[in-house]
Amino acid sequence: MPTNQPVVLLQERGGDRCLPIWIGAAEATAIAYAQQGIDPPRPLTHDLLKNVLEALDHELTQVRIVALEEGVFYATLVVDDDVEIDSRSSDAIALALRTGTPIVAPEELIESAGVALDADTQESGAEDEVERFKEFLDHVSAADFENPEAPEGRD
């Protein structure tokens, strides 16, 4: 991307929308390691948290992307189905990938911040879809996803 800022694309299951979440380079590396199955010689922060949860016999049962405020996505870690912990979305995604935990977002958030992929994009295959979306992202910034109907100072 022109800004060299990584972006995570969370694609709607069974749908045609994605949530584009801009993240830092360190978080992008942590997410890429999890996606590629790279096992570092010493635990990284997200590996450590996974290990702590397992050692204490707790389970990350859900990651929720809960809000978009001033261009920043917020997330919640749900542990044992009843404990909710505030989290950065990038950390929550990195941990979810390591634990095989589902990532969810409310319909309202997907509706307001999601980017729809057209039918032609879906039919051209996953690789073409990613390339076309990357091209789209080359010409867009986080500010483009602001909600003009939101109260002043909020997205």
The sign of the torsion formed by the CA atoms of 101, 15, 86, 6 equals positive
Q: For the sheet containing 115-116, what is the strand order?
A: 7-11, 17-22, 115-116
Three-state DSSP class for 38?
coil
- Residues facing 18 on adjacent strands: 11, 115
Residue 103 near residue 65, CB atoms below 8 Å:
yes
The predicted pLDDT at position 81 comes to 97
The predicted pLDDT at position 5 comes to 85
The predicted pLDDT at position 150 comes to 46
Which regions in the chain score pLDDT beneath 50?
1-2, 121-122, 148, 150-155
Structural domain boundaries in the chain: 7-145
The predicted pLDDT at position 117 comes to 72
Question: How far apart (Å, rounded) are the C-alpha atoms in residues 148 and 152?
Answer: 9
Residue 10 near residue 19, CB atoms below 8 Å:
yes
- For domain 7-145, the CATH superfamily is Bifunctional nuclease domain (3.10.690.10)
Question: For 79-118, what is each residue's pLDDT tens digit?
Answer: 999 999 999 999 999 999 999 999 999 999 999 999 987 6
Instruction: Give first-to-last CA distance, the chain, whole Å.
Output: 23
The predicted pLDDT at position 89 comes to 97
Beta strands in the chain (DSSP E): 7-11, 17-22, 60-69, 72-79, 83-88, 103-104, 115-116
Rg (CA), the chain: 16
Question: How far apart (Å, rounded) are the C-alpha atoms in residues 122 and 15?
Answer: 10
